[in-house]
Amino acid sequence: MANYICKHCGTKMSSVSALTSNSCTMNPNHGKHVLYEGSEKSEYTCKHCGTRHNTFSTLVHNSCTRNPNGKYHEPSI
């Protein structure tokens, strides 16, 4: 079964509609979960600084000093 991941917090759900209908506390616009459009991987890389983590959630919950749009790492697709 496919998992759909929120690009801001790493929450996984089994459908896009279930994911995007719920609030996300890490969304910088204080809105809903936003779909990560990449695939599940064994390692995720921040598109701003190159930091790598084995889990999506670990990456997006850590600060990134180079992210111009927020304070957390943002995964590359």
Of residues 1 and 21, which shows the higher confidence score? 21
- The sign of the dihedral angle between the CA atoms of 63, 75, 27, 16 is negative
pLDDT at 69 > cutoff 90? no
pTM of the model: 0.85
Q: What's the confidence (pLDDT) of residue 42?
A: 95
Q: Are 33 and 6 in contact (CB under 8 A)?
A: yes
Give the chain as a 3 state SS string: CCCEEECCCCCEECCHHHHHCCECCCCCCCCECCECCCCCCCCEEECCCCCEECCHHHHHCCECCCCCCCCECCECC
Render pLDDT for 3-48 as a digit per residue (tens, 0 to 9): 899 999 999 999 999 999 999 999 988 899 999 999 889 999 999 9
